[in-house]
Amino acid sequence: GGDHTITYPILQALAAKHGPVGLVHVDAHTDTGDTALGQSIYHGSPFRRCAEEGLLDCGRVVQIGIRGSSYDPDPHKYCREQGFRVVPAEECWMKSLEPLMREVRAQMGERPMYISFDIDGLDPAYAPGTGTPEIAGLTPAQALEIIRGCKGLNIVGCDLVEVAPMYDVSGNTALLGANLLFEMLCVLPGVKTL
């Protein structure tokens, strides 16, 4: 439930052990900003810092659910230049993500990878309790397809971030976040499920 900055030191530690890792990143935002208010480390910059430090196997980075307004006419340029695959939310609307996840599984291969899930990847109708909501996001069923689609991959870690209880009046965001974390635990290597 912390902000997305927490992923940066986690990936530093994992890369020190495994080398650069692949990444399945679900989010409304790419989190590849450079600076904000003069700071280079903040919740909108972790994946730029990770790319700069060589923590990511950039050809195995997939960002799913990206959307929202931007000050830049080409907001995904940095990601493409790094070799990231950006899957905008509109490419996910009203369809199953199982075909996408088959492609992602092939892209990840057998090497170590990480799942980073920002709750704002989901539409605020389902997860309003977050600091940077964006309309027209993913559904909970699509979130399950993404996570379950990672089963069998060499997952070395995962997180779920940006749940903000002060904005979660109904408690639905926390409920959804807890269930998605449970699903991530179920797809870790060696976990047996029915």
CATH at residue 15: 3.40.800.10
pTM of the complete model: 0.97
Asked whether residue 50 is domain-assigned, the answer is no
Mean pLDDT for all residues in the chain: 97
Asked whether residue 164 is domain-assigned, the answer is yes
Mean pLDDT of the region 139-157: 98
Asked whether residue 151 is domain-assigned, the answer is yes
Give the pLDDT confidence score for residue 59 in this predicted structure: 98
Domain count within the chain: 1
In contact, 23 and 118? CB cutoff 8 Å: no
Give the pLDDT confidence score for residue 1 in this predicted structure: 67
Asked whether residue 125 is domain-assigned, the answer is yes
Range(s) of the domain holding residue 84: 11-30+56-187
Asked whether residue 46 is domain-assigned, the answer is no
Mean pLDDT of the region 52-57: 98
Please say if the pLDDT value at position 81 is more than 80: yes
Asked whether residue 45 is domain-assigned, the answer is no
Asked whether residue 154 is domain-assigned, the answer is yes
